[in-house]
Amino acid sequence: MTALKNDRFLRALLKQPVDVTPVWMMRQAGRYLPEYRASRAKAGDFMSLCMNPQFACEVTMQPLDRYPQLDAAILFSDILTIPDAMGQGLYFETGEGPRFKKVISTLADIEALPIPDPQKDLGYVMDAVSTIRRELNGRVPLIGFSGSPWTLATYMVEGGSSKDFRKTKAMLYDNPQAMHLLLDKLAQSVTSYLNGQILAGAQAVQIFDTWGGNLSAAAYQEFSLAYMRKIVSGLIREHEGRKVPVILFTKNGGLWLESIADAGADALGLDWTCDIGNARERVGHKVALQGNMDPTVLYAKPEAIRAEVGRILASYGSGSGHVFNLGHGITPEVDPEHAGAFLRAVHELSAQYHV
């Protein structure tokens, strides 16, 4: 494989010295970019983009071509590829988001679920990873990802997105045995899926626990974090002669940072409700931190964006171990010029913290 020309993202995740704070954006390949919208129109729909390795590569590269400041590429895919490969029948309703043709509601439903083979059942993702890696040609590292078991379970039990997770939480409390079986199957699936991505060329991986923060403190430990810890313990942590960092990101997980830091990952993603300086005091000696600007700051003028970038950098302070990112994904209505102002500000303002 080609040597990396820019490895500051991987170095920061391992708390090694860097020249400037590395930056990337969750959902950096997405609807805010006119070139992405053109590719999606050409592909026909979202799933056709995801399931075609050439299209997935095309849209992964688009933000890198527009923004030379980006220090990482992230695989273009969806967190719900695993439930789809388990036979749930993923589809997207216009204006409604993801939906499943089959919904999990009983222990028998869970017992019947297969554990997908990454190569056979999710080969299009592995092909996308290897295609993107070749196209990057060492430009920046490639991030692979998956949803967390708890987050995937919510979609499978609810049949799509939910505001209150009533069916999933009812199962959790009424039938914890069934929920644990579902989460265990998903943990096995996520582990093999991420390892498949690593073997195909992903140089770091992130687990998106989008809905873990909707659990109580006790339920989070038992039904979300325990399964992410299990995944982390089963991941390939070195490949192609260098470490493969693992990032855990629980949205609204700020109350539990110490516990998440003990889960074995190299870095924690923070949403915008956390103060990154406080988070560093709490866990920074154990893990790197990724985040955490409120994505809606990108609706403001470039001067205001730059000021907020400066505030977050100052809060983290000097030294490595910080990957700058948004506190969640960039939203579709953001002006691409504002995203560019954000990325430039990170590199320009962060050099003083790495002397």
**pLDDT tens digits, one per residue of 129-167:** 999 999 999 999 999 999 999 999 999 999 988 889 999
* Closest-CA residue to 76 (of 141, 33, 109, 125): 125
Helix (H), strand (E) counts: the chain: 17, 11
The half-sphere exposure of 273 on its side-chain side, counting CA atoms within 13 A, is 9
Q: Tell me, what's the pLDDT at 327?
A: 97
- Third-level CATH fold of 8-354: TIM Barrel (3.20.20)
**pLDDT tens digits, one per residue of 221-232:** 999 999 999 999
CA distance 95 to 98: 9
* Closest-CA residue to 99 (of 84, 77, 109, 121): 84
Q: Tell me, what's the pLDDT at 257?
A: 97
Q: Which structure tokens are listed for 112? A: 């019947």
Q: What is the pTM of this model?
A: 0.97
Q: Is the pLDDT of residue 84 over 80?
A: yes
Q: Which structure tokens are listed for 58? A: 């095309």
Residue spans of the domains in the chain: they are 8-354
Q: Report the binding-site residues.
A: 27-31, 78, 155, 210, 328
Q: Is the pLDDT of residue 316 over 90?
A: yes
Tell how strand 204-209 and strand 90-93 pair up: unpaired
Q: Is the pLDDT of residue 3 over 90?
A: no
Q: Tell me, what's the pLDDT at 333?
A: 96
Q: Give the pLDDT band (50/70/90) at residue 121.
A: very high
CA distance 151 to 168: 10
Catalytic residues: 27, 31, 40, 78, 155
Average pLDDT over residues 206-230: 97
What sign for the dihedral angle of Cα 61, 63, 64, 66? positive
Q: Is the pLDDT of residue 98 over 80?
A: yes
Q: Supply the mean pLDDT for the chain.
A: 96
Q: Is the pLDDT of residue 322 over 80?
A: yes
Q: What are phi and psi of 233, to 5 degrees?
A: -70, -20
Q: Is the pLDDT of residue 21 over 90?
A: yes
Q: Tell me, what's the pLDDT at 97?
A: 80
Percentage of the chain modeled with pLDDT above 90: 93
**pLDDT tens digits, one per residue of 236-259:** 999 999 999 999 999 999 999 999
* Closest-CA residue to 9 (of 221, 295, 314, 266): 266
Q: Tell me, what's the pLDDT at 299?
A: 98
Q: Give the pLDDT band (50/70/90) at residue 1.
A: low
Q: Report the binding-site residues for substrate.
A: 27-31, 78, 155, 210, 328
